[in-house]
Amino acid sequence: MSSKTGEPTEVVGGEEIEVSNARTWAGGAVGGLFGGVVMGVLMTVLMPGAVEVAIPAMYGLEGVSAGWGVHLLHSVLFGLVFAAIVMRPGIERYVPTSRAVVGAGALFGAALWLVAAGLAMPIWLSAVGFAGAPPLPNLAIPSLIAHLAYGLVLGVGVVALRR
């Protein structure tokens, strides 16, 4: 953060440029939404029933529309969490370039796979009495692929909108 306005900076082509916090928030929301769409399609293909049955069951809901609605809401919220992380003072030095932000997005997706899908979701579904709750831990490779895709698209979204 060496700019005169106090906005974070990013090194692009050897030149330091300012990045907007408001645009980073927008990138987190929009990148999270688009990442959620990509992830949802992958989950629908690789893990039938995840979006349509398991995700809405977390909230006592049923159906494809409820599943997609909940999944996309989670996607946007996690996108905003990612935006908050990459804007934290001290963290931005670890993500000084567009490539680093996209890589951090992929890492974030992997972390979500491990914590949210691997631990929280099976516990949550068991707690609400969902008969099809996955095992604990739920570390399925198709889920990892979907979460990595989410994180990559999220990172690209933040990069695309933050300038």
- Residue 3 located in a structural domain: no
- Residue 5 located in a structural domain: no
**Quick one: pLDDT at residue 1?**
43
The pTM of the full predicted model, rounded to 2 decimals, is: 0.88
Q: Report the 10 Å Cβ neighbour count for 63.
A: 11
**30-42 confidence digits (pLDDT tens):** 999 999 999 999 9
The mean predicted confidence, pLDDT, of the chain is: 90
- The parent domain of residue 141 ranges over 21-161
Label residue 10 by pLDDT band (50, 70, 90).
Answer: low
- Residue 136 located in a structural domain: yes
- Residue 156 located in a structural domain: yes
- Residue 101 located in a structural domain: yes
- Residue 12 located in a structural domain: no
- Residue 130 located in a structural domain: yes
DSSP string, 31-99: HHHHHHHHHHHHHHHHSTTIIIIIHHHTTT--SHHHHHHHHHHHHHHHHHHHHHHHHSTTTGGG--SHH
**Quick one: pLDDT at residue 144?**
98
- Residue 32 located in a structural domain: yes
> Count of domains in the chain?
1
**77-121 confidence digits (pLDDT tens):** 999 999 999 988 888 889 888 999 999 999 999 999 999 999 999
